[in-house]
Amino acid sequence: MPEYRKDIILDEWVIIATERAKRPENFREEKIKVEKKEGIVCPFDRGNEQMTPPEVLKVDKNGNEVQGDGPWQIRIVPNKFPALVEHAEPLSRQYGIYMLMEGFGMHDVVIHSPEHITNISELDLAQTRLLVEVYVKRLLEIKKDTRIESVIIMLNQGKEAGASLEHSHSQIFSLPLNPPALMKEVHGTRRYFEKTKKCPMCDILKFELSEKKRLIYECEDFVIVQPYASRNPFETWVVPKRHFSNFENILEKERDSFAKCLKMVVDFFYYELNEPAFNYYIHTGPLHDSAGAHYHCHFELIPKFSIKAGFEIATGIDICITTPEYTADFMNNSGRFN
Amino acid sequence: MPEYRKDIILDEWVIIATERAKRPENFREEKIKVEKKEGIVCPFDRGNEQMTPPEVLKVDKNGNEVQGDGPWQIRIVPNKFPALVEHAEPLSRQYGIYMLMEGFGMHDVVIHSPEHITNISELDLAQTRLLVEVYVKRLLEIKKDTRIESVIIMLNQGKEAGASLEHSHSQIFSLPLNPPALMKEVHGTRRYFEKTKKCPMCDILKFELSEKKRLIYECEDFVIVQPYASRNPFETWVVPKRHFSNFENILEKERDSFAKCLKMVVDFFYYELNEPAFNYYIHTGPLHDSAGAHYHCHFELIPKFSIKAGFEIATGIDICITTPEYTADFMNNSGRFN
């Protein structure tokens, strides 16, 4: 029988309806990997650096900043086709009955490697660790700009997930406002905190670690878990055990653990489900507002296994065709989380 | 330059960033229409009625209810793989720190025709008018069930929009709760009403009819318009001029006008953009709550021209790559709205 499950942070129901469920291994993608076309010049490859706008950060494999033309491992450049631009005014004005504002913000591209790799899973653990370091470094730099209220670090893996260039890259959006999805979490966690004097994510971790039904992995610093009110098949969260609201405050040893967790998760999808498309993002608290007591930063990965159709768009209620217990069990049995 | 535009009902910003915009005619789909495979038996075709659960409503081409095996034009049947079921208890209970509830509700399939048509545009005007009549009839029937709080009437056109069977059909979901997307509109319109003593949708119609930049069509009863804070290329609304909150209260002559508008809109996409995938739905007020003063029911059609990627999922902010002014102009020049 289908069931409604409540997301206790957002205070919203999702529907878990497994009537049409596939077995976990049947989510495996059947596509054949596309080989890089001959003669296509990739602007993210080593040697083509002049094809992108000048970088805002460039580091070598040890994480040291590189000036000039030295060998690099990760570059952050402004997006050539930005959704937001820095030379705009973040001041709203009236337009008839409406409001508008110039598209102020920053839209960075994080090029994961000078090699033409097409999946984040092709980074080894040290390179993944470096990517985490670069995320934090850039976050701390952006935070100095008081016009920016919120930063989104995210990755679109695969064309079906919205990637327009196949060379593995993430994007960092810096916004002059706190976006609705973040504010829903901030308000929801505050509501829970006011009622219980506890952080809901801390409560979730405690419950999941004791029940173990949706638990994928636990180390000293992080927990990998599938959410009880899962909106998507194989939706996977990586949550720090220590309560902190802003990802830029991650400790040195937590960066090591997070890189290891991130690598295990993307490797699971790459090797066990044959490289499906997915989106991931870091939900981190508002840069300048204090949500510290109740907001708990975390990482979410959403595979593109289902289409958000008319029902989901019209209602805001997601229908998930698998239970997280079932897919968590499959992930545990893969032997990739230890 | 990109811009933020505010949705004055939801009080949320969207981003319009046209850096990567295509020309309107370049949204035209290039796919070749798939011919029906030989030997595949469609459960929605005339003659295969026994392949679906028994119908809850069956009408002939004049809208008269058909009993037994007589010729029919539209059938409503329960979904064979329902996301919600009627034999469940709509009572929530605690599960550890979480809440759950059996998947109570109704999940109807509206089979648009006994012929194997694959696009709603293949219905002629009289058949489209009959579909509108059937929607209203079913809504009025469901409303008698006091366990049901909210009804969603929607269509997934095409595989990319989530349709799993190609035979043209809509779906009607009956829910024991008011879903978040509806409640956001209800709260937003109430907030606007409390501040201004006016319905925001009535204000929008007034402004759009005078400015004409996003106006596609106007008749005595309805306005076809693209929203100022458009979340999707070619997002199109059909809005009644008369203020009323619940679609089931549509007047006889408004049903005629609505059918004409619906037909013009789906024909535009079918003929001018080569049958793209889309979702449409009717946003109608809560069945039993009184939102009548401020909530204004309407129809929305969302073509699947863009992928909701990591940014949209993580933030709840949509990036639209065309301005509604540009696409509205293209629709106006098509000569299909008169």
- B47: region left, alpha or beta (phi > 0 left; psi from -120 to 50 alpha): left
Instruction: Determine whether the interchain pair A161/B88 forms a contact, defined as Cβ–Cβ distance below 8 Å.
Output: no
Find the range with the poorest average confidence among A234-243, B3-12, B24-33: B24-33
The DSSP bridge partners found for residue A222 are A240
CB contact B53 to A (< 8 Å): no
Which of B20, B180, B228 faces A316 most closely, judged by CB atoms? Answer: B180
Segment A12-30 shows an average pLDDT of 82
pLDDT of residue B160 exceeding 70, the answer is yes
Segment A226-246 shows an average pLDDT of 97
Q: In chain B, what are the domains?
A: 7-17+39-333 (3.30.428.10)
Give residue B19's pLDDT.
79
pLDDT of residue A284 exceeding 90, the answer is yes
Q: Helices B180-196 and B200-211: crossing angle, nearest 10°?
A: 80
The confidence band for A235, taking pLDDT boundaries of 50, 70 and 90, is very high
Q: Rounded CA gap, A319 and B103, in Å?
A: 11
CB contact B160 to A (< 8 Å): yes
Give residue B280's pLDDT.
98
Q: What is the pLDDT of residues A251-281, one digit of tens each?
A: 999 999 999 999 999 999 999 999 999 999 9
Q: Helices A252-267 and A125-143: crossing angle, nearest 10°?
A: 120
- The count of other CB atoms within 10 Å of the CB of residue B203 is 17
The confidence band for A33, taking pLDDT boundaries of 50, 70 and 90, is low
Percent of chain A beyond pLDDT 70? 98
Q: What is the pLDDT of residues B266-288, one digit of tens each?
A: 999 999 999 999 999 999 999 98
Give residue A252's pLDDT.
97
Give residue A32's pLDDT.
59
**C-alpha A29: how far from its chain's center?**
21
The confidence band for A34, taking pLDDT boundaries of 50, 70 and 90, is low
pLDDT of residue B77 exceeding 80, the answer is yes
A169, A283, A294, A296: the active-site residue? A169
Give residue B267's pLDDT.
98
Is residue A178 within 8 Å of A245, Cβ to Cβ? no
Half-sphere exposure (CA, 13 Å, Cβ side) for A296? 23
- Residue reference for tokens 């650096």: A49
Instruction: Determine whether the interchain pair B2/A103 forms a contact, defined as Cβ–Cβ distance below 8 Å.
Output: yes
Give residue B33's pLDDT.
58
pLDDT of residue B325 exceeding 80, the answer is yes
Q: What is the pLDDT of residues A60-76, one digit of tens each?
A: 999 999 998 889 999 99
Give residue A31's pLDDT.
67
The confidence band for B34, taking pLDDT boundaries of 50, 70 and 90, is low
CB contact B307 to A (< 8 Å): yes
Give residue B37's pLDDT.
66
Give residue A174's pLDDT.
98
Q: Is B102 helix (H, G, I), strand (E, B) or coil?
A: strand
Q: Rounded CA gap, B210 and B228, in Å?
A: 14
Nearest CA in chain A to B320: A83
pLDDT of residue A53 exceeding 70, the answer is yes
Contacts of B283 in chain A (CB under 8 A): 314
Segment B283-301 shows an average pLDDT of 91
**Cα separations in angstroms, B289 against A316, B21, B158, B178:** 19, 42, 34, 10
CB contact B88 to A (< 8 Å): yes
Which of B103, B162, B203 faces A3 most closely, judged by CB atoms? Answer: B103
Contacts of A101 in chain B (CB under 8 A): 3-4, 6, 13
Q: Rounded CA gap, A284 and A95, in Å?
A: 32
Percent of chain B beyond pLDDT 70? 98
- A128: region left, alpha or beta (phi > 0 left; psi from -120 to 50 alpha): alpha
**What is the complex's ipTM, to 2 decimals?**
0.94
Q: What is the pLDDT of residues B85-105, one digit of tens each?
A: 999 998 999 999 999 999 999
Segment B23-36 shows an average pLDDT of 70
pLDDT of residue B228 exceeding 80, the answer is yes
Nearest CA in chain A to B232: A313
pLDDT of residue A142 exceeding 90, the answer is yes
B107 belongs to the catalytic site: no
pLDDT of residue A338 exceeding 90, the answer is no
Give residue A157's pLDDT.
97
Find the range with the poorest average confidence among A44-53, B14-23, B322-331: B14-23
Give residue B26's pLDDT.
79
H or E stretch including A108?
strand A106-111
Is residue B274 within 8 Å of B31, Cβ to Cβ? yes
Q: Is B172 helix (H, G, I), strand (E, B) or coil?
A: strand
pLDDT of residue B239 exceeding 70, the answer is yes
Encoding tokens for residue B299? 């129809």
Give residue A29's pLDDT.
75
Alpha helices for chain A (secondary structure H): 125-143, 180-196, 200-211, 252-267, 310-315, 324-333
Contacts of B308 in chain A (CB under 8 A): 162, 308
Q: What is the mean pLDDT of chain A?
A: 94
CB contact B302 to A (< 8 Å): yes
The confidence band for A30, taking pLDDT boundaries of 50, 70 and 90, is confident
Segment A165-186 shows an average pLDDT of 96
**Cα separations in angstroms, A329 against A24, A214, A334, B295:** 9, 7, 9, 45
Q: What is the DSSP letter of B166?
A: -
Instruction: Determine whether the interchain pair B310/A171 forms a contact, defined as Cβ–Cβ distance below 8 Å.
Output: yes
Q: What is the mean pLDDT of chain B?
A: 94
Segment B130-144 shows an average pLDDT of 97
Instruction: Determine whether the interchain pair B98/A177 forms a contact, defined as Cβ–Cβ distance below 8 Å.
Output: no
Is residue B293 within 8 Å of B199, Cβ to Cβ? yes
The confidence band for A35, taking pLDDT boundaries of 50, 70 and 90, is low
Give contacts of B 183-222 with A, CB under 8 A: 184, 203-204, 207, 211
Percent of chain B beyond pLDDT 90? 88
Q: Is B83 helix (H, G, I), strand (E, B) or coil?
A: coil
The confidence band for A214, taking pLDDT boundaries of 50, 70 and 90, is very high
Burial grade of B120 (CB within 10 A; 0-12, 13-18, 19 or more):
buried
Residues 6+ apart with CB under 8 A from A2: A15, A16, A17, A18, A19, B82, B83, B84, B85, B88, B102, B103
